[in-house]
Structures are given as structure tokens and as C-alpha cells.
Amino acid sequence: MVARVIPSVVNVRTTTFGGGRGDGSGVVLDRSGIIVTNNHVVEGTTSVDVALNDAAGSRTLRGEVIGTAPERDLAVIRVDADNLVPVRLGRSAGLRLGDGVVAIGFPLGLGGPTVTQGIVSGLDRTIEPGDGPRLQGLLQTDAAINPGNSGGALVDLSGRLVGINTAAARLEGTENIGFAIAIDEALPVIAEIRRRGGGARLWIGAAIGSVESDAAAVRLGLDPSTRGVVVTEVFEGGPAARAQLAVGDVIVRLDDEEIRSEAAFVAALERRKVGSRVVLELIDSAGPRRASVTLARRPETPAG
């Protein structure tokens, strides 16, 4: 059973501002390159690489974060591939206390997939993990879930995906308690991320990510109270490049609208038209400034 699932679990390797490195896990949902992980794995990153280990051999592909739901600690990554091995989906609603489960991921930088087994030890848990968002509807398990397991698979004993592991929900001073986002709760959120991220008509010519926590703001060298969207990549020749936006800029306002998340930014764009000129209020470690950007139609496949 585990051997069938391992090709569907990937190692997500990130680079953050200042050159820091991070490791997490992800789960392949679609053979055409769609992968789900935790938002906290990709938050504040400048680049994402996905290491695969399936029948096609070990290889690493550049990933694009197509959207996030920070309030649910979920993110969707796309890689340029059409032969991935998607995980089989299960139903978390059918789980009962004591059911056996297996956690698969890439914890602690050990260099390969790790498999731990346990039981479902709690259902519909609500956790407030320190600096992260309040997470509801979680599965609790005694299968070991450590840093690096974030975004990996929790599967039932038939190898079907029942949860997305989230090490962010670990509780201080506890042992043998791990948490996963129930797949029944995650799938509608993932579908919305894909719809929003894949279909947004307007484009500023940059990749962005939410700054929705004190820790994310501090990593950017900003006041902990700063909220907005951070520019993680500027595409050559696009509107953002022409307006001289730079990686690390945080957009806190679009015209007269306050921007506190990626969702708010996308919603603000959807109320405008191709060719509209908007004023962005930006802040970086050097201080605030403004930039005027002309919105363009999103290309089929943005260069990146």
C-alpha cells in the first residue's frame, strides 16, 4: 500500500528572502502537474522547487504557486509535467477513532520520504498554533508529524488520501499528537484556489504571496503588524517590471482599497478592467512608496 502512495508525495524545497532555505512536502492531485501543500511551506518564498521520485526517476522541477488559502493553511503548486502519479482520494468523513492511518512526507531534511503509522486519535479538532491562523476541522493522529512533513499525505490503510499533514498545528510541549487538514474540508478550498489562480483575467506581471502573520512580516524586515501581498517574482517585460516593482515589495493598498491578503488583492483586480491604471502603495525595508501599474490580460502561461 505505502509503495503505491510514495510516488504521489513530493519534497517541496523553497528559497526565502535573504537566501534562506526551507523544506516541506506536497501531494500530487493531478497528473498534469497540480500539487497541494501547506500555505506556511510556501509563504514568503522567492522560489519553489519540487523533487519527484516516481517511475520516471528522481528529478526536480521548478514550481509555481498558483494560489493560497492562508486561513486554511493550504496552497496549490503547479509544475510543468503531464506524467505525475496522482494520489487516490479517500473520504475523511468515514474515519472513526482508532482507524489506522499512515503519514508520508519529507521531515527534518533527512533526504528521502519518511513513513510513520498510527491511528486516528481525534476528529474535528480546532487548533490555534501560535503565530499561525486558527485551524478547524482537523484530524488528530499519533502518527509522527514533524517539521518537513508539512503538506504531506495522511492516508488510510488502503492508501487513499484522507488528510494533508500540517506540522504548523503542533502544540508546544506535546508528544504523539499530530494534525492533518481533513480531505473533505480541503478539496473545496483547493478547487477554489485553482479556479481563482488559474482563471484570473487580470495580471500585474508578478507572482505574489500573502503576508498575513507577524512572522511573515518580520522575515521581510518589516514591522510585525504589516499585512498585504509580497512580490515574489517580477516577470520580464510585464506591467510590474515597467513600473519598477521589485521582489520583496509588499502591496498594502490598491487605489483606495486596503490589501491584507492575496484573496483581497485578487478580488480588487477582478473589479477592474484590462488597461486600467491603478496606484499601488508599497512598502519594503527601505520604507513606503507608490507605483502606477497598467493592468494587462493574464497570458496563457506566464514566463517564470
Catalogue all structural domains in the chain, each as residue range(s) with its CATH number.
2-79 (2.40.10.10), 88-185 (2.40.10.10), 200-297 (2.30.42.10)
Look at residue 165 and tell me whether its pLDDT is greater than 70. yes
- Point out the catalytic residue in the list 8, 25, 73, 142: 73
Look at residue 90 and tell me whether its pLDDT is greater than 70. yes
**Percent of all residues in the chain with a pLDDT value above 70, rounded to a whole number:** 90
Average pLDDT over residues 145-163: 93
Look at residue 176 and tell me whether its pLDDT is greater than 90. no
Q: Where would I find the H helices in 144-243?
A: 183-199, 214-219, 239-242
263 vs 198 pLDDT, higher one: 263
Average pLDDT over residues 153-164: 96
Catalytic, 150? Answer yes
DSSP string, 130-166: TTS--EEEEEEE-S---TT-TT-EEEETTSEEEEEE-
Catalytic, 249? Answer no
Catalytic, 158? Answer no
209 vs 113 pLDDT, higher one: 113
Look at residue 169 and tell me whether its pLDDT is greater than 70. no
136 vs 120 pLDDT, higher one: 120
The count of other CB atoms within 10 Å of the CB of residue 149 is 30
Q: In degrees rounded to 5, what are phi and psi of residue 235?
A: -85, 130
pTM check: above 0.75: no
Look at residue 300 and tell me whether its pLDDT is greater than 50. no
Neighbouring residues of 195: CB distance < 8 A, sequence distance ≥ 6: none
- Point out the catalytic residue in the list 25, 47, 121, 150: 150
How far is residue 271's CA from residue 254's CA, in Å, rounded to a whole number? Answer: 12
Q: In degrees rounded to 5, what are phi and psi of residue 50?
A: -120, 120
Tell me, letter by letter, the H, E, C secondary structure of 39-84.
HHHHCCEEEEEEEEEECCEEEEEEEEEEEEEHHHCEEEEEECCCCC
Ranked by mean pLDDT, the top range of 146-150, 183-187, 233-237 is 183-187
- Point out the catalytic residue in the list 25, 40, 210, 261: 40
Ranked by mean pLDDT, the top range of 20-29, 41-50, 67-76, 163-172 is 20-29
Q: What is the per-residue pLDDT across 121-136, written as a single tens digit (0 to 9) for each? A: 999 998 876 666 788 8
Residue 193, classed as helix, strand or coil, is helix
